Homo-oligomer: A and B are copies of this chain.
Amino acid sequence: MSTTQDQECDQVTLLTGRGDIFSGITVDSKLLAKTSALFEHQLEQSLVAWRQAKRRGIWLSIPHNRTELIPIAQKLGFILHHAKPDYVMLTHWLDEKEPNQLPSYAMSTIGVGGHVVNKKREVLLVEERFAYVKNYFKLPGGCLDMGESIESGLEREVFEETGIRAQFRGILAFTYKAEFRFGHADVYFGCLMSLDENEEDQKINYDPGEIAACKWMSLDEWANSS
């Protein structure tokens, strides 16, 4: 290693971040070195410091525009944990005496479906544009977004799919599927919704990108359909 490189190493800012009650560190991404070579020295030296300080779980979030750093972190013992559009999270468990206790990421989606009944005793149903079974009508609904409540996610999805504004009243039932998309689970909440007096006459206005048909069906007809 040349003297210039040694000096570069010495000048590298050690990574620091937020500590937690588990003796872990969540690295501050703003401190990541500007080049891959400097980052490698920085991470190597930071690991030495964290081991000396008896740190256990290290959380390293690589921003989406620095993903060239991922193989370097992996070479130094980091493991993929989860990713969102704007980052990839890697972790490194440093405690050699105890097993890895780092929590896993989310393993389930939450789906919601709205049971809206009007004064004529008709239920609001949709047929999906992309469906495995044709001519199959189901409750409008969909997946909750990150950070969304069951109530507001339900009202948003029903409005997006049907154009009808209805209010959450309560959860009627739920199902849990252990294996859904990408091996993750899914919880589906079937919810009762109601229409205010002034909302009974709303026009159906569905999103053709997602929905093939939307209609009110009498409860009797729905109960007798397969």
Give A residues with C-beta under 8 Å from B: 21-22, 64, 67-68, 70-71, 74, 79-89, 98-99, 101, 103-110, 130-132, 143-150, 176, 178-179, 181-185, 187, 209-210
Say whether, besides A80-B83, A81-B85, A107-B109, A101 and B209 are in contact (CB < 8 Å): yes
Are A85 and B89 interface neighbours, CB within 8 A? no
Are B85 and A83 interface neighbours, CB within 8 A? no
List, in ascending order, chain B residues with CB within 8 A of A81's CB.
83, 85
| Cα-based distance from A14 to B110 in the complex (angstroms) | 36
**What are 19 A-B contacts defined by CB distance under 8 Å?**
A21-B130, A67-B67, A67-B70, A67-B74, A67-B80, A70-B88, A84-B182, A88-B88, A103-B109, A103-B143, A104-B109, A106-B106, A108-B108, A108-B110, A110-B185, A146-B185, A147-B178, A149-B178, A150-B176
Are B182 and A105 interface neighbours, CB within 8 A? yes
Are A104 and B70 interface neighbours, CB within 8 A? no
Closest to A153 in B: B178
List, in ascending order, chain B residues with CB within 8 A of A144's CB.
107-108, 185
Closest to A176 in B: B150
List, in ascending order, chain B residues with CB within 8 A of A67's CB.
67, 70-71, 74, 80
List, in ascending order, chain B residues with CB within 8 A of A21's CB.
130-132
Among B71, B80, B87, B108, the residue within 8 A (CB) of A68 is B71
| Cα-based distance from A217 to B93 in the complex (angstroms) | 35
Are A185 and B106 interface neighbours, CB within 8 A? yes
Are B178 and A148 interface neighbours, CB within 8 A? yes
